[in-house]
A and B are shown apart, each in its own frame.
Chain A
Amino acid sequence: METVEEVAKKIKVPVKILSDYLIKVAGVGELAIEVSEGEYTLSEIIDTILRRIPKLKPLSESKDLGKQPFIAVNGEVSYDKNHVFKLGKSSRITIFSVGAGG
């Protein structure tokens, strides 16, 4: 009898960078990350994105708020790297920098 392992479905999550400044640094405005459907911490999501866009790494480690990328997953932003997000078929990730509106 064969053993059937349950393999989580692979999905492509679209990542869109909104801010011109970050697009310039990253050298790309849109991409997709391939992950297995499931739950991920913000930290894991950031690591996955940075593997694809290593040029953003210095900014993500910056203490300067004006330079730090903000990451929205499924329309929600968290600053807690342990915050857990579900990534599924309709997920989307948006990256932007702090604005100056008021």
Chain B
Amino acid sequence: MRGMAVYSVHGRILHIDLSSRKIWVEKYGSDLLREYIGSRGIQARLYWDTVKPEVRPFSPENVVFIGAGTFTATPMPSAGRTTVTFKSPATGRYFKASVGGDFGIKLKLNGYDIIAIRGASEEPVYIYIEDDHVDILPAKDLWGLDVRTAHAKLVRKYGIHIDTLLIGPAGERLVKYASINTSVYNVAARGGGGAVLGYKKLKGIVLSKGSRSVVLYDPRRYLELSMKVVKNIMNDEALVGTAKFGTASGTMGLDRTNTLPNYNFRKPYWEHAYKNSGEYYVEAGYLVGRVGCGQCIVSCHRHTRTSKYGGVDTVGPEYETSNALGGNIGNADTDALIKMNDLANIYGLDTISLGGVIAWVMESYEKGYLREVKDELGTEPVWGNIEAAMKLIDKIVRRDGIGDLLAEGLAVACRRVDDETCKWAVQARGLEHSRVETRIARAYALAFALNPRGPDHLHTETFAEFGFTEDSKKLIERITGHREWAGVGKNEGRPEIVAWHEEMYAVTDSVGFCAFITTAGFAVDEFLMSELFEAATGIPMNAEELVRAGERIITLERMIQVREGRTRKDDNLPWRITHEKVRTRDGKEYVITEEELNEMLDKYFELRGWDKKTGVPLPNKLKELNLEFTIPIAQKVLGT
């Protein structure tokens, strides 16, 4: 145990070894909380200490950490997020994914901040937790069930007050982009965490309602600040729109700015984009109601319904899904989009990777590859063919025929088919690219090249770059000193914009806040967040120190990956993004050249105090951030 007593968290990590069936609790103190703020930061440190670089993703030694934020299970709006940390089977490296729902809240109500899943079971199991009572139970009757059915079965057994974290059939069959779902429809989607649990034969975790609560250091002050957050959320123009139209309210802004990637990143706008938008879901009557994560007053999730495709009553689609399974595959059929989103939800699949894979099949077929897939599907896998897309989803989940290849993800699949097809396999470092056109949105481009996850938005959502709102323009001006640098197609100030967002995002995840209120909407800035942290934990923390903690987390995550073999050569983008021009609606052409990317990377490394040649944090920077324990690795790579 390091440091003094803790507030706002329990200071308790629940370790569960599925191989030995041993269960124990490890305590931690305020030192760890001060340095790493909460879930994501602390789990990065635990990962460094536990998961050595030689550990394979599919091995008992891979540890899955599931942790609730420091503000989770306290009276704080939009602070119910949970972070899942593991070595990814898609990227082969450190990975973390954030998820909403109620799981993190119930985890803390049961008396734990973090669960560490070690080892692997020989038979399917699930874990039941009721305060100090923790059981590893057989899951033979749950194995093979989709997430919704498995959840319903567990609710029938334990009652309505439970919450679940579950994998679907995709995770059980080790699909490399299988998700982990909490409260059924909240998804830690990326990186294949579901497959890691599938390897461990762990169907899921059931949390009882719990009887513990966390103690706040200064509850009166915390409540005052909490009311300020509520007020800020209610007055934030971006968040008001997100509440009303969901995350897919982003579709038309991206379409208008030519940053909406359609047809596998060949067209940055689309005539039918509106059919993939949150506004259309409202207008056309698909929206049944809004759904919120625990503690959230924004409620950006959508309860949707369609009578077509056998009838669907589900949650979603979010923005990323709306584009990945919409314009990305030429799909303007909103009913089909809702159906495919639901299939991905219940099978436990990451929709971004899924859409990337389907689009690659369609483009490959168009270019004369994978011609045999037509016979296998009984229909041609051409743009907009919904029947083909749905059959591919089914085959991927069952690893049947072409589905077995596609379940490996783009990086593997394209090499097995033909290296030429890797040019339109829009992935980097093993992860399929998120749904924004990075040839035009340049802060996203730099952020995606650096992201330890891969080319993905949920590490550095630099949404302010678009300058859609007055608040976002003000933020760009505050970060760079230049209001005019808000807007797409610009390289200026991008290293500074990315660095600020990375740090803010790291502390946002760690306290359990949703990034929508800190980096997409702007209800909480670093000044307010540091006041909240101090009132919650009693640990003195000003805004500068909080941001420094964010930098510590970012730098530790970089060092973890350096230890796993990452160098500057990995700070890249998909081939298509750096080699093929994309044409906007008004005929302008964009590509992000390797020279442009390198120039931004140089500036970023200089800003960070990292070595420009290798991208490795320099020893003096590591010392400054209290990361001395990583210095030997840095010195080894730097040759100093």
Hey, which bits of chain A sit against chain B, CB under 8 A?
16, 18-21, 65-66, 70, 72, 75-79, 92, 94, 96-102
Residue of B nearest to A70 (CB): B252
Is B457 engaged at the interface, CB distance under 8 Å to the other chain? yes
Residue of B nearest to A94 (CB): B283
Hey, which bits of chain B sit against chain A, CB under 8 A?
237-242, 244-253, 255-257, 271-275, 278-280, 282-284, 300, 318-320, 436, 457, 461, 463, 466-470, 520-521, 585
Grouping DSSP codes into helix (H, G, I), strand (E, B) and loop, the B interface class, with mixed when no group exceeds half, is helix
Select A66's contact among B249, B271, B320, B470, beta carbons within 8 Å.
B470
Q: How far is the CB of A74 from chain B (nearest CB, A)?
A: 10
Are A66 and B468 closer than 8 Å at their CB atoms?
yes
Closest 8 CB pairs of A and B: A99-B249, A100-B238, A101-B250, A101-B247, A98-B253, A101-B249, A99-B241, A66-B468
**Chain B positions within 8 Å of A99 at CB level:** 238, 241-242, 245, 248-253, 278-279
**Chain A positions within 8 Å of B280 at CB level:** 72, 75
Residue of A nearest to B283 (CB): A94
Knowing that A75-B275, A99-B241, A101-B520 touch, tell me 19 more A-B residue pairs with CB under 8 angstroms.
Answer: A16-B283, A18-B283, A65-B253, A75-B284, A76-B274, A77-B252, A77-B274, A94-B279, A96-B245, A97-B241, A98-B249, A98-B468, A99-B248, A99-B252, A100-B241, A100-B249, A100-B463, A101-B251, A101-B319
Residue of A nearest to B487 (CB): A65
Are A102 and B241 closer than 8 Å at their CB atoms?
no
**Chain A positions within 8 Å of B284 at CB level:** 75
**Chain B positions within 8 Å of A20 at CB level:** 240-241, 244
Given A75-B280, A75-B283, A101 and B248 touching (CB < 8 A)?
yes
**Chain B positions within 8 Å of A75 at CB level:** 274-275, 280, 283-284
**Chain A positions within 8 Å of B278 at CB level:** 99, 101
Residue of B nearest to A77 (CB): B274
User: CA separation between A29 and B250, bound complex, in Å?
Assistant: 22
Q: How far is the CB of B441 from chain A (nearest CB, A)?
A: 11
Q: How far is the CB of A10 from chain B (nearest CB, A)?
A: 24
Q: How far is the CB of A57 from chain B (nearest CB, A)?
A: 20
Grouping DSSP codes into helix (H, G, I), strand (E, B) and loop, the A interface class, with mixed when no group exceeds half, is loop
Are A65 and B257 closer than 8 Å at their CB atoms?
yes
Q: How far is the CB of A71 from chain B (nearest CB, A)?
A: 10
Q: How far is the CB of B57 from chain A (nearest CB, A)?
A: 28
Q: How far is the CB of B447 from chain A (nearest CB, A)?
A: 13
**Chain B positions within 8 Å of A78 at CB level:** 271
User: CA separation between A19 and B242, bound complex, in Å?
Assistant: 11
Residue of B nearest to A99 (CB): B249
Jot down 7 A-B pairs with beta carbons below 8 A, ordered by A.
A16-B283, A18-B282, A20-B240, A66-B469, A100-B463, A101-B300, A102-B436
Are A100 and B468 closer than 8 Å at their CB atoms?
yes
Are A76 and B279 closer than 8 Å at their CB atoms?
no
Q: How far is the CB of A86 from chain B (nearest CB, A)?
A: 15
Select A21's contact among B237, B251, B467, beta carbons within 8 Å.
B237
Residue of B nearest to A66 (CB): B468
**Chain A positions within 8 Å of B255 at CB level:** 77
**Chain A positions within 8 Å of B470 at CB level:** 66
**Chain A positions within 8 Å of B469 at CB level:** 66, 100
Are B521 and A100 closer than 8 Å at their CB atoms?
yes
Are B246 and A101 closer than 8 Å at their CB atoms?
yes
Select B279's contact among A18, A92, A102, beta carbons within 8 Å.
A18
User: CA separation between A21 and B467, bound complex, in Å?
Assistant: 17
**Chain B positions within 8 Å of A18 at CB level:** 244-245, 279, 282-283
User: CA separation between A20 and B234, bound complex, in Å?
Assistant: 12
Interface centre among B273, B278, B468 (most CB of A within 10 A): B468
Residue of A nearest to B457 (CB): A102
User: CA separation between A20 and B249, bound complex, in Å?
Assistant: 13
Are A72 and B283 closer than 8 Å at their CB atoms?
yes
Interface centre among B245, B272, B278 (most CB of A within 10 A): B245
Q: How far is the CB of B629 from chain A (nearest CB, A)?
A: 35
**Chain B positions within 8 Å of A94 at CB level:** 279, 283
Are B283 and A65 closer than 8 Å at their CB atoms?
no
